[in-house]
Every structure is written in structure tokens, then in C-alpha cells.
Amino acid sequence: MHQPLEIEMSQAPESRDVDPEITKTLAEYSTGISFDDLSAEAVEASKHCLLDWIGVTIAGLEEPLTQMLIEQAEADGGQKQASIVGDGRRVSTSQAALINGSASHALDYDDVQTRLQGHPTVPVAPVVLALGEKDGASGKDVITAFAAGVDAECRIGAYIGMSHYLKGWHSTATIGTFGAAVGASRMLGLDSEKCALAMGIAGTQAAGLKSMFGTMCKPLHAGKAAQNGLFAANMAARGFTSRPDVLERHQGFAHTQTEATDIPAGLLGLHERFEVRDALFKYHAACYMTHSTIEAIHNIQRKANLVPDNIDKVEVTVVTGAVDVCGIPTPSSGLEGKFSLRYCAAIAINGDDTARLDTYSDEMVKEPHLVDLLNKVTVAEKDSLERMAAEVTIHTKDGVVHYEHYDAGIPAADLDAQWDKLVNKFRACVDPVLGNEKTEKIIDKVKHLDKVDDISELAALWA
Amino acid sequence: MHQPLEIEMSQAPESRDVDPEITKTLAEYSTGISFDDLSAEAVEASKHCLLDWIGVTIAGLEEPLTQMLIEQAEADGGQKQASIVGDGRRVSTSQAALINGSASHALDYDDVQTRLQGHPTVPVAPVVLALGEKDGASGKDVITAFAAGVDAECRIGAYIGMSHYLKGWHSTATIGTFGAAVGASRMLGLDSEKCALAMGIAGTQAAGLKSMFGTMCKPLHAGKAAQNGLFAANMAARGFTSRPDVLERHQGFAHTQTEATDIPAGLLGLHERFEVRDALFKYHAACYMTHSTIEAIHNIQRKANLVPDNIDKVEVTVVTGAVDVCGIPTPSSGLEGKFSLRYCAAIAINGDDTARLDTYSDEMVKEPHLVDLLNKVTVAEKDSLERMAAEVTIHTKDGVVHYEHYDAGIPAADLDAQWDKLVNKFRACVDPVLGNEKTEKIIDKVKHLDKVDDISELAALWA
């Protein structure tokens, strides 16, 4: 029988700081920046993230997991403080964070940030929007809090390093809890000391196992990160205590959940580069690692306009290891189709709308003409390719060879073009639910979000 | 810049079960046992845990951390489903689990179980009592759900092993989440498949860092474990999905949070021995590792009735390593007094009430006559002693030597004597808050809890 020595140790173990003061540095930075400190690109990118987030949240509203969370919230009861996005019913800010955070990750169609090793917007947006709606905050306040939360979580992701994710932690869930806490701390006006304590309360709740991928728990992780981060900031505001050095202290977050930390990576370009600028968006409702293949084929098609009958073979090359992620050779379900480079290549060649959710249905993956195309696709790997990139070579029956390289790991250079693509995606997600008029009004409101005096004007549009 | 391969991997990684089916085995066991399957001692011990839990919860009600959680619950709003213990206000079952769970661990005066490496009752009792109060469950239902929850968490503790706690995880928080989920699954009448899914939803939320000890987050951990476990069972009941093998699967709970598992330890004596029987109780409001020293001195005093002036020196011997836990030589605060073997020896010799919270006050630790006594105490360590035990040798000025050995790690042999001691402790905790009449009524109700038709009769007594 184990009889641990420390079983009743109510005092803190002696702090053995391995990385002095990174929690404090990030808390001071996060609470110190103002809207005017943000670059124009950071403001613009924040609007992109928020527009995209509203779109995928509304698209995820009718998912069974979202509906179950709404039913539980109704059973628990609560103040009517913030709306369920796209639904209009109001729940407490805590419930809104959980429901909207989960809904927005339900389709796995939300944005990605490589330094976070996960999805930056889903833990932060539901918190800052719910608090903004409750308190009538301005668009500038929401943008600033959002950008600060995303910055904090992405920097913590870079500091924590890859071993965290590789061990089995879902970074969006674990590290996202800090992003939510920082975003909420901003909305609540906490000073840097309180923000550091909120990060402590957040870090001791941070959880989420990658082994739950493929179940409703994966989107739940985003919702719980949002809810727990909001709770952390609310309690810090009330005077609740924690440790102000949760990231670096002995038996703290890094010590328990990663093998190696990297302070310089975490603090790289603080005050100069804004992590939100590097958000990557999904324009195809499939695994992000299929996106370069789809984009490369679209680029070939734009030039060559190939017809399926004239295609002899399609060679796709991705980085070594990518086949483990999205290399299902012949998918037998729509979900498997999202993780099949061959299927994604086939629908791209065929001109199907890769942005539509129903392009990845159990029926579509069995369509004979798509299966014929898929059988022309071979997938190879090589070490020297960029992590998110693909090379596609198409041989036609009349002997022409088309080649394209694409790297979806590079943030878009042209933010205006990115906005236009996101607007198209937004319309596809939202128009069927809310109709054209509301869809366009939301787009317009988000476009000018920094001019909005009271964020509840935005919420009124999705009711 | 990190560009992880798996960043968009929505599918589950292939399951590499290291310990087949322990989650399923525990889910089947937990949902399969009935009140009549429990041993008489298990029923009796459950009543002891619940009485003690009500007492320490009421004693913790006025702590600032409890009051902050109540304020947050009032700000969030909710159905009036279950009572705040000792307060009488009603909140949702989710809020009751959080508030009561945190209050009961606020003073660190609640019970201990060595196989859990933590506190068994604080994550489970608030859940089964809140659901019981809401639904008017019987005393037998509550006892069975409570015993099942404690059994599950203690067995998971034995399975997970010591490295989990030593790494920096607060077992009461992490593993306690499973206990709460199992207790709630019983109260909600889930079958074993749903219970295993509830354990999955629980395990992916389980969190709590030992580095937060000494802050309000330590008691919060117990409340969050209760609340998250209840949420897990509620969602499983609604059809929410997770993995049914969270404990053992690749990138599951054990894989991410311990170095070595032990299936035989986890399943030891399943259906025959009940973990709740081995709960250890605190009769002194200090670190559990000081308890053997205090008991040994009390035993000497019962025989020898020494007066402080006649004491020459006091030699305390504990197991190697214990001084790191409770070896503060000269405490400067009441909290430090709880972690000072010398101070605890001094108050025991002096006849102070070691059960009273104010015996460990900032003023008391500076009392000159106690400091004089403390200066006569030496503390030594040796490897061969039991983990929780102590040897005390007292030399008097007239040359007599008194020796006692005590091991507080052994569950009480005499449950009737344990009940009497717990009743005394309960009176000390509750009488000042609720008065004599209610105090005695609660004791009587818990004594006959298996005869209670509707558990809300008990809740009515602490309003």
C-alpha cells in the first residue's frame, strides 16, 4: 500500500523556478497593450478570426454535441447574460463560453496557429464576445482583448514546445485555457498581478487529452478551455489566490506537461509581432494537411482546366509522416474522406466545392466517378518538404505534365484577399441558417468592428 | 517555427492499449454493486465519511474562498436544486458540487486514503448529496453511490501509482474527478457503458497542480473535481461521446500523467474489500504526518500525566523524508504550526486541544510557554519506520523515560470508537455554527442514514 510522504502537504513546495518570470512577463504584456499598440495588420487579422469564428460557430450550432450542451445549460439555469451564437437564446457568460466554444470547434473548420500547435480563436473569442455582450463593451475593447488572449496562448505554445502535444495533450484545450483567461482578464480590466493569478487559476484547471479526438470531447475541450479561463479571471477579480508563476514554477504547468521549454521562442518579437497575424484559415472542410494538395490542384486547374477523362495520373507528394495523419487510401465514410489525400485530390480535380461540409459525406466518398479519379492518385512522402506543403504533378493522357507546389503553412501575405475568401466561406456557413440579410449585416459589422460602440449590436444580428 | 504534423488530426490516434479494459472493469463494478453488496463495515465507514464531510464543510463555509465561490454562483444564477451546506441557500447541483466540494477541503481537515494518495470524500460527497437532495434519493442510494465513487477513485489511485503525485499532480483533483463521475453515474442510474463514457469525459477534464498548494486553488481542486465529474455523468446521460478506455488507452490518462501503472493493485480484492473502509480521519487540525506524533504523546500523557516543567527532552522520530513535509523547526504563523512536528509535540504535551482550528493561530505559535516546550523537542528521521508513523521518547527531569510508537496510517480497527471520535470532532466543527439542536439532529440522521427515505430531510437540517 502506497503511503505517500506528501499526502497532507498543504504548503507549497519550495519554488524552483526554471524559467524566471515568463508568467509575469506575459501578464504584464497582455494587460499593458492598448488598441493603439496593435499593428493595423493585427487589427485586421483579429476581424478575420472573429468573422470566421462566428461562421463556423453558426455552422456548428445544430450539431448534436452543441444541442446537448444547450440542454444541460437549460437544466442548470442561469442569468441571461450572453447569447448562444446563431440561436439567440441567452445564457450566463460561463454557459455561453462553454456552448459557443464547443460549437465553434464542432466541425473542426476553425482557424489554426502553428506556434500554438492548435486552434487559436475557439478558446478566446467566445469569452471576449460573451463578456462584451454582457457589459456592452466596444469593438475596440473586444479586438484588443482577443488579440491579447491569442498572443498569450500562442507564446505559451512556443514556450511549452512540441513535446506537450506529442505526449498526448490537446494544446487548444490546455494552452487555450490561458488564452481565455488572459482575454477575460482584459475584458474585466484586471491589472497584471491579477492577470498572473488568473493564469495560475487557469493553469491548474487546464486539461484535454488527444486520445479523445474523434469524439464529442474534442470540441468540448475548446468550450471547457473558454469556460475555465473565464472562471479563472472572474475568481482572480474577486481576490481568489493562486501562484503568480504557474508556467515556470516547480510542479507547475511546464514541469508537469512538457519535456523542454523555450523562453526565447515564447518571447520572440514581443510588442512587435502579433501572433493573431499568423492565424491560418481553413477554406476546405478537411484536415488542414490536405489543404496544400487541394490548393495546388486548384492552381493547376485555373491554368489548365483539365477534364477528368483526360487525366492519366496524379502524383501527390507531402512531407514524411503526413500519411499517418491524412493518408487514408480509400475512405469509407465522409469523416474518413476528410483525412484522405487521394479523396481530397479527386474532389479538387472534379471541381466539387471543397468548402462545403456535405462534400465529405458518406454518399459522396462512394460516387463511382470520384472513386475512378481517386484511383489515379498516388501519394508519396519526402523529408525535405515544408511541414504543411504539397507538390502535385498531373499527367494527362495526351502527354502534358502539370506541376504545382503550395505551402498552406505560410500566413497569407494579402490580407484583403484573405478577407474576401473568408467572406465567401462565411456566406456558405451562415446564409443557410440566418438568411442573406443577416449574413451580410454581420459581415459588415465585423468589417467595421473597431467602430462599434457596443458589441451587443453584433450579438443582436445573430439572434 | 513549429509546424506539427498532427495539428489537424481530428481522428483518434490508433489505440495502443497497455492495460486492457481497466476502465470497463471499474465501470461494470461501480454500476453493478448494490447496497446489499456492501459489507456492514463499508456502510458504517461511509456514514463516518459523510458525517465528517458535513462537519468540515460547515467549518469551511465562512472561509473567504468559499464565500467568493458563492458570490460567483449568485452572479451566474441558476436553478435552486441543492443547498450550500450549512448556509441553506440553494444553487444548481453543479454550483453546489463546486462550492461544497471546495468548502469541505478549505481547512484541509477532511479524510485521507493512502491508495488514492489524497482525500477520498471531498470530490464524491458533494456530488451524491447534491443529486440526492435534488431528486429526493434514499439514504441507501446515497451511501451506495458514495462508496462506489470512493472505490473507483482509490482503485484508480492504486493503478496510477505514486509517480503521478510525485510529478506534481494533486490526486484529489485529478483522480477525484473520476470518483465524482462514478458517484454521479450511480445517482443518475447510468449503465456500465455510459459510466465508462462518463469516466472518459471526466478524465479529459481532470486537472490540478500541486504547485498551487498553499493557495485557494488547493481546495478549489476538490470542488472542480466534483463539478467536472458531475458534468461528465450528466453529459454521458445525454448521449455525449468519449472513449470508453480513458485510463489505459494511448494518450489517455495514465499515458499522459504517470510513469508506471499497476493493474493488480487497482483491482485488488474487487467485490471483497471496500476502499471506503480504509479512510483515515484527521482528529488534529494539522498536517496528517504530525498525527502519529500527537497520538503517541497523548498515549504517554494518558499513562504518565507529565507536567511541562518536569520534562527534560522530547525525541520525535519519523520516517526519512517526513521533515520535508512537516519539519518547520520554529513556526512563525499558525499555518506553519500545522507543518511543525515540534509545535505539534509541544501543544500535545501542554494539553491544548489539537482538534481546534484556533490552536494553530499566529498568536498561539508565539506563546512563550509553548516555545519553551518546543525547544525541548528534537526531530530525527529513520528509513525503517512506517510512512505515517512516529516514535516518541520523553525524558523527565527525574530520570524516567517514556516511549510510544503510533502509526496513523492504519485504518481504525474499532469502528464504534471511530464514530465516537468523529462525533466529537463534528460537534466542535458544527455546534458553533448551527447550534446544539441541529448538530445533534444531523449526527442522528447520519447514524441512521440507511433508513432515510429522502435525503433532502438531511439537507433541511443544515439550512
A–B: how many Cβ contacts below 8 A?
306
Contacts of residue A231 in chain B, CB cutoff 8 Å? Answer: 72
Q: Where along chain B do the CATH 3.30.1330.120 domains lie?
A: 288-407
First to last CA, chain B: 58
CATH topology of domain B288-407: 60s Ribosomal Protein L30; Chain: A; (3.30.1330)
Integer Cα distance of B339 and B334 in angstroms = 9
Top residue of B10, B238, B257 to mutate, by most chain A CBs within 10 Å, is B10
Cβ neighbours around A310 below 10 Å, total: 12
Q: Nearest chain B residue to A155 by CA: give it.
A: B1
* A335/B239 Cβ within 8 A: no
Buried b or exposed e, range A133-152, using 16+ CB within 10 angstroms: bbbebbbbbbbbbbbbbbbb
Distance CA B20, CA B135 (A): 36
Cα angle for residues B245, A72, B76 (degrees, 5° grid)? 120
Would you call B5 and A289 a contact, using CB atoms and an 8 Å cutoff? yes
* Strand duo B389-396 + A401-407: pairing: unpaired
Per-residue pLDDT of chain A (463 residues; tens, 9 = 90+): 233 334 433 334 444 445 569 999 999 999 999 999 999 999 999 999 999 999 999 999 999 999 999 999 999 999 999 999 999 899 999 999 999 999 999 999 999 999 999 999 999 999 999 999 999 999 999 999 999 999 999 999 999 999 999 999 999 999 999 999 999 999 999 999 999 999 999 999 999 999 998 899 999 999 999 999 999 999 999 999 999 999 999 999 999 999 999 999 999 999 999 999 999 999 999 989 999 999 999 999 999 999 999 999 999 999 998 888 889 999 999 888 998 999 999 999 999 999 888 899 999 999 999 999 999 999 999 999 998 999 999 999 999 999 999 999 999 999 999 999 999 999 999 999 999 999 999 999 999 999 999 999 999 999 8
Q: Which positions in chain A touch B8 (Cβ < 8 Å)?
A: 108, 112, 287-289, 325-326
- Type of residue at B308: P
* Phi and psi, residue A430, nearest 5°: -105, -35
Q: Give the mutation candidate from B211, B333, B385 for the A interface (greatest A CB count, under 10 A).
A: B211
Nearest chain A residue to B285, by CA: A8
Closest alpha carbon within chain A to B408: A3
Residue A141 one-letter amino acid? D
Distance CA A264, CA A268 (A): 6
Q: How many residues are present in chain A? A: 463
Residue A327 grid coordinates:
493518408
**CATH number for the domain formed by residue range(s) A22-281+435-461:** 1.10.4100.10
Q: Tell me where in chain B the CATH 1.10.4100.10 domain(s) lie.
A: 22-281+435-461
